[in-house]
Chain A
Amino acid sequence: MRPNVIIPKEPEIPCVEEFSLNNKTKLYTYSTQRTDLVSLYITVPCGYKYATNPVVGKFAWEMIKAGTNKKSSIQIAEELNYYGASLDISVNPDSVNISLVALKDFFLQAIDLLFELLTDAIYPKKELLLQKQETLGILKIENKKVESIANKNFYKLLFGANHPYGRYIKYSDIFLTQRKNLLNFAKKYFDFSQSLWGLAGNYDNEIIRSVTEHFNVLPVLNIEDYAINSKEPAKKSLHINKKSSLQTAIKMGCQIKSLREKDYPYFLIGQTIFGGYFGSRLNKNIREEKGLTYGIFSRTNHFKYQSVWSIAAEVKADQTNFAIKEIRTEYEKFINEPINDEELNRVRNYMMGTSLFAFDGAFNIIKNQLKMNDLGVSVDSYYKNLFYVIKNANEKEIREKFAEYVPWEKMIVVTAGKVETR
């Protein structure tokens, strides 16, 4: 006998503690005894858009691990490994996200090391050469994958080749990067005045004190962040021919309004029903009924100043046109036909239940806090509005907002693979 399903309750928004690092910058903390690990997260709004060559911005941040006046790259790697630490640095157009995870017993030493890297990176020439070769190698491998080709051409078409969100890395960008460019970028743009800080896991007061003390020695340049406008896409579709490919990668979508908008959750429910979860319309039709793909999903991607909605799949090469036609059919059906209660309630429960994941565990809570703050949203107001809409939106509002956010006329379609699709 099927047990009764308990409708997922509205998650409680966790209470994150805040400490002031200075009059502008806060350190968000969430403690747990359930682990021996501590994580420090830093988001700095000085991404690669500040450099004409995106590789300069990326390398300037990523290569802080490549050497300081006191330590070689191998010594740095050895220390991190000894502390059971991983230091990840991910650079996007607007911001850089730094995460340091280490064993509690070594976390103070790991913090000392991180701050040495942030203030004393020297970018040795021989390390730059190695980094260039590694990046070039990875890029060459990526350029063989239809999914990567479709993805970068999608963003290029959507924002323009020179816009930071559409500008992808070319081989020449790597060749042209010099040590002096990195030193210059670090000097001009390593600015912690608007940075966001988070600490999670099994930390103690001494760790908080150490973070606070170290923060005070970081450079403060008060750089004004800015958005860059994009033009309308030059065309609606693009095919990149890869004759030997067994599948064609499809990437299609458009720019959408920001998640800061009050009506965004209505769209989010619609996007979830349409292609945002395993039981979505797209996946049911194109994978589970027709077997054309291993998986098809639609998703939102929020840059700091613009947001994108896209659909992606790799499909049987000779069925590409058919798959795109089916996507269109599902779109029209979604816009025009009422959503039945069973499906709508399923998605309400699914979205409410899976919201818990963002609030589960100290690491997720703090990462989510920084991500939302970086996008200019308060966790409290965003989720309260989201939960309200999940509970109260009616099916017509959902379809109308979906059609308003993503009108078919705005859609661009990029394909990479064997078959010329148009």
Chain B
Amino acid sequence: MLNQSFKKGSLSNGLRYILYPVKDTSLVCVNMFYFVGSRDEEPDKTGFAHLFEHLMFAGSEQAPSFDNEVESAGGVNNAFTTQDYTDYFIELPADNVELALWLESDRMRHLNINEKSLNIQKNVVIEEFKETHLNQPYGDLFHILSDLCYTKHPYRWPTIGLSPEHIEKATIEDVQSFYDKWYQPNNAILAISGKFNENIEDLIKKYFENIPSNLISERNYPIDPPIEHQVKKIVKRDVPLNLIVIAFAMPGRLSPEYSTYDILSDILGNDNSSRLYASLVKEKKLFISVDASIMGSVDPGLMIISGIVKPSVDVSKAEAALWDELVNFNKKPITDRELEKVKNMYLSSLSMDIYDLQKLGFELSFYEALSKAELLFENYDVYRSITKEDIMSLADRILNPDRAFVLNYLKK
């Protein structure tokens, strides 16, 4: 079974840390997780959390060039931002773990914030916006879908932001106040995975204990009420193939039913033996591909089913067939083997994730931020305990056209 032994601790300023030793490696990954994402932005300044992530590499008081320091120590670093959090990591030869701790502590204590780097990173982020969203086929899909599925909650805008104009508006004052508000030790989790010595906790104390903390304000974002009638939108774009997306509201990450939604989505549309793929792609030949997954968000989120329609097939016919599969889900009982199959897929994917030092550090931090790092492993038992009846009861309640958000993303 997977190695589940790790150590946790915390400092007087509220910084929590996790130590996961790995024997057969000469590398170490220092993962710094800040519990702030695009849901924490102002509606007229979206995309800011991600822009800020770029600025975290603009240097700090003692380390004017973050990247040069990491590279000189033989390592690599990167970061990513989501709607809920921002994760930074440095992976480097184990001997230089102290340098990574120093770098993370210095930018937590005193980031260099200046107009020049803000202006350059605004340009870089706008180019990223174009490269990943505006200049790609289906690149605005999540802009449309988020807007369709949320009217109140800040998940109504994607992490990249609503538009490049919002990025352009960011001021140096915004940067400073965002940093002061969220980039605090008591809003961060430090995870160290890989090879390290017994003095690691002393090093953590040395570099982080004296960083002052601020009170982190409680989040109280408005939750969208359940819908009573289907919400549907049709858009036309310069794309080669028609796409249908059906989304259902689902509870947040800590809800007891979260994993049942996950398993239901796997039975429906994870990989080529799933129900929707077998029926709609292989048997009825209406779709080129079909997929189901959950968004995995902290606050109430979405289970999303999407399919690319075959060029010769009428979109309404394809959508009707997709609905037929969903509303009749329980007419075909789940078999023991089908349930076992999706649980095995879950274990395999978890095993793959935690073999990677960076993913392991991130996952432990994420669960610690949510509740406790142990959940990463305890979740497996939760998944194992889910029964066919749990899934069928959930399917019965949610796979309902009146409860769905539907998007037809069509070619012009």
- Chain A residues at the B interface, C-beta cutoff of 8 Å: 1-3, 5-6, 8-9, 11, 32, 34-37, 73-74, 77-78, 80-86, 101-103, 106, 130, 133-134, 137, 140-141, 143-146, 244-247, 277-279, 287-294, 314-316, 345-347, 349-350, 352-354, 356-357, 360-361, 363
| Contact among A77, A106, A361 with B355 in the assembled complex (CB-CB below 8 Å) | A361
B90-136 residues with Cβ-Cβ distance < 8 A to A are 91-93, 95-96, 98-99, 102, 119-125, 127-128, 130-132, 134-136
Contacts of A101 in B (CB 8 A): 348, 352
Contact between B272 and A37, CB atoms less than 8 A apart: no
A277 CA to B96 CA in the complex, in Å?
19
Answer yes or no: B209 CB below 8 A from chain A CBs.
Answer: no
B262 CB to nearest A CB, Å: 15
Query: Do the beta carbons of A146 and B71 come within 8 Å of each other?
Result: no
Which residues from chain B contact A346 at a C-beta distance below 8 Å? 68, 71-72
Bound: A277/B130 CA distance, A: 23
Q: Which residues of A contact B67 (CB under 8 A)?
A: 278-279
Contacts A77-B273, A103-B348, A130-B285 given; does A315 touch B71 at CB 8 Å: no
The verdict on B321 contacting chain A, using a C-beta distance below 8 Å, is no
Residues on B close to A: CB < 8 A? 1-3, 22-27, 62-63, 67-68, 71-76, 91-93, 95-96, 98-99, 102, 119-125, 127-128, 130-132, 134-138, 238-241, 270-273, 277-278, 281-282, 285, 288-289, 308, 310-311, 337, 340-342, 344-345, 347-349, 351-352, 355
Chain A residues with CB below 8 A from B341, complex form: 78, 81-82
Which residues from chain A contact B75 at a C-beta distance below 8 Å? 350, 353-354
- Can you name 20 A-B pairs with beta carbons within 8 Å? A5-B96, A6-B95, A34-B23, A84-B349, A84-B351, A103-B347, A103-B348, A133-B288, A133-B311, A137-B308, A287-B124, A291-B119, A293-B124, A316-B127, A347-B71, A350-B72, A350-B74, A353-B73, A357-B76, A360-B25
Complex Cα spacing A363 to B99, Å = 28
The answer to whether B344 touches A106, judged by C-beta atoms less than 8 angstroms apart, is yes
Which of A137, A140, A146, A347 gathers most chain B CB within 10 Å?
Answer: A137
Residues of B within 8 A of A80 (CB): 273
Decide if A279 touches B121 in the complex (CB within 8 Å): no
Question: Contacting A144 at CB < 8 Å: which of B74, B137, B310?
Answer: B137
Instruction: List 14 extra interface pairs beyond A103-B348, A354-B76, CB under 8 A.
Output: A3-B98, A3-B102, A84-B344, A101-B348, A130-B281, A141-B137, A145-B136, A288-B124, A314-B131, A316-B127, A349-B71, A353-B74, A354-B75, A361-B355
**B102 nearest in chain A by CB position:** A3
Contacts A34-B355, A294-B131, A360-B25; is A134 near B241 (CB within 8 Å)? Answer: no
Complex: how many Å from CA A289 to CA B121?
9
In the complex, what distance in Å separates the CA atom of A8 from the CA atom of B23?
Answer: 19
Choose one: B27, B344, B348; the contact of A356 (CB below 8 Å): B27
Say how far B353's CB is from chain A's closest CB, in angstroms: 11
Q: Judging by beta carbons under 8 Å apart, are A74 and B127 in contact?
A: no
Bound CA span A83–B27, Å: 31
From known contacts A2-B62, A144-B240, A360-B27, infer whether A81 and B74 are also in contact, taking CB-CB under 8 Å. Answer: no
Give the residue name and chain of the A residue nearest to B78 (CB): A278
CB contacts (< 8 Å) of A360 on chain B: these are 25-27
What residue in chain B is nearest A14 (Cβ atoms)?
A: B24
Are B127 and A293 touching (Cβ within 8 A)?
A: yes
- Give the docked Cα–Cα distance between A106 and B337 (Å): 14
Flag if A84 contacts B127 (CB, 8 Å): no
* Neighbour of B127 across the interface among A11, A81, A314, CB < 8 A: A314
How many Å lie between the Cα of A82 and that of B272 in the bound state?
12
Q: How far is the CA of A101 from the CA of B351 in the complex (A)?
A: 11
Q: Which of B27, B240, B285, B351 contacts A141 (CB 8 A)?
A: B240
| Chain A residues with CB under 8 A of B25 | 360-361
**Which residue, B71, B98, B241, has most C-beta atoms of chain A within 10 A?**
B71
Q: Assess A291 versus B96: contact at CB under 8 Å? Given A84-B345, A279-B67.
A: no
A1 to B101, CA, bound (A): 11
Q: What chain B residues lie within 8 Å of A287 (beta carbons)?
A: 124
Answer whether A77 and B26 are a contact pair too, CB < 8 Å, given A137-B240, A346-B68: no
**Neighbouring A residues of B72 by C-beta, 8 Å:** 5, 345-346, 349-350
- Cβ A73 vs Cβ B272 within 8 A: yes
On whether the beta carbons of A5 and B73 are closer than 8 Å, the reply is yes
Determine if A291 and B348 form an interchain contact, defined as CB atoms under 8 angstroms apart.
Answer: no
Nearest CB on B from A113, distance (A): 13
In chain A, what residue has the closest Cβ to B101?
A3
In the complex, A140→B238 CA distance in Å?
12
Task: Decide: B124 and A8 in contact? CB cutoff 8 A.
Answer: no
Q: How far is the CA of A35 from the CA of B2 in the complex (A)?
A: 6
Docked Cα-Cα span, A346 to B26, in Å, equals 20
B124 with A34: CB separation less than 8 A: no
Whether B272 pairs with A77 at a CB distance below 8 angstroms is: yes
Cβ of B27: which chain A residues have Cβ within 8 Å of it?
356-357, 360
Decide if B68 touches A279 in the complex (CB within 8 Å).
Answer: yes
B99 touches A144 (CB 8 A): no
B64 to chain A, nearest CB (A): 11
Which residues of chain B are near A86, meaning CB under 8 Å?
348
What's the Cα separation between A245 and B342 when bound, in Å? 41
Inside 8 A of A246's CB, which chain B residues have their CB? Answer: 130, 134-135
A34 to B1, CA, bound (A): 9
Tell whether, in the assembled complex, residue B135 and residue A245 are in contact, meaning their CB atoms are under 8 Å apart. yes
Contact of B2 among A11, A36, A141, A353 (CB under 8 A): A36
**CB-nearest residue of chain B to A37:** B351
Report chain A residues within 8 Å CB of B311: 133, 137
> Hey, which chain A residues are within 8 Å of B285, CB to CB?
130
Residue of A nearest to B270 (CB): A81
Q: How far is the CA of A42 from the CA of B241 in the complex (A)?
A: 35
Contacting pair B238 A144 (CB below 8 A): yes
Complex: how many Å from CA A290 to CA B285? 49
Closest A-chain residue to B135, C-beta based?
Answer: A246
- Contacting residues, chain B, for A314 (C-beta < 8 A): 127, 130-131, 135
Residues of A within 8 A of B74 (CB): 8, 349-350, 352-354, 356
Min C-beta distance of A420 to chain B, whole Å: 18
Residues of A within 8 A of B128 (CB): 294
Give Cα A246–Cα B130 distance, bound, in whole angstroms.
7
